[in-house]
Homo-oligomer: A and B are copies of this chain.
């Protein structure tokens, strides 16, 4: 692949993608959220090559998205569990899921129906909201002067990047 490294990027989206933005990592996290914890289970559920799974799990552990826990029980020895950082990917995964359900629905599949454990009611679509909870689109927002989007502006010609 000869991939470009984003480690040193000044864009935190790029840095985030560097940790969980490859083909498998986010699917591993998703399955971890669904309760998968063991190597073989990830491997079978995802159909991922074992060496790649090894690599991804190790990287997710390095990046503190997962933690590797030694559980001494019968035959199974390790579990990969989400850290707080990993659980914090929840809105991203759900937003991705909702986007997929909305724009690429599988004919044979019902959209994800996630419900609040307490009330039993369905969750809302994940949105960007203003301070009052009003949904915002990309057109409703701006980056204040003096702040930074994290991408280089090149404004000699009057082009603006935000």
Instruction: Give the oligomeric copy count.
Output: 2
Knowing A124-B131, A129-B124, A154-B44, say if A141 contacts B117 (CB, 8 Å).
Answer: yes
Chain B residues, CB < 8 A from A108: 10
- CB pair A105–B12 under 8 Å, yes or no, is yes
Interface of chain A, main secondary structure: loop
Q: Report if A138 contacts B (CB, 8 A).
A: yes
Whole-angstrom CA separation of A154 from B38 in the bound complex:
13
Chain B residues, CB < 8 A from A137: 87, 90
Q: Report if A61 contacts B (CB, 8 A).
A: no
Whole-angstrom CA separation of A111 from B10 in the bound complex:
11
Chain B residues, CB < 8 A from A106: 10, 12, 15
Q: A12-61: which residues lie under 8 A (CB-CB) from chain B?
A: 12-17, 19, 21-23, 26-27, 30-31, 33-36, 41, 44-45, 47-48
Count of residues in A whose CB is under 8 Å from the partner chain: 93
- CB pair B17–A82 under 8 Å, yes or no, is no
* Chain B CB within 10 A, most for which of A19, A89, A99: A99
Q: Which of B90, B102, B144 contacts A128 (CB 8 A)?
A: B90
- CB pair A27–B17 under 8 Å, yes or no, is yes
Q: Report if A62 contacts B (CB, 8 A).
A: no
Q: Report if A71 contacts B (CB, 8 A).
A: no
- 22 A-B residue pairs with CB within 8 Å: A4-B47, A10-B106, A10-B108, A12-B111, A22-B23, A35-B159, A85-B103, A87-B139, A90-B128, A90-B137, A91-B126, A91-B128, A94-B128, A114-B143, A115-B141, A115-B142, A116-B140, A117-B140, A117-B142, A119-B131, A123-B129, A123-B131
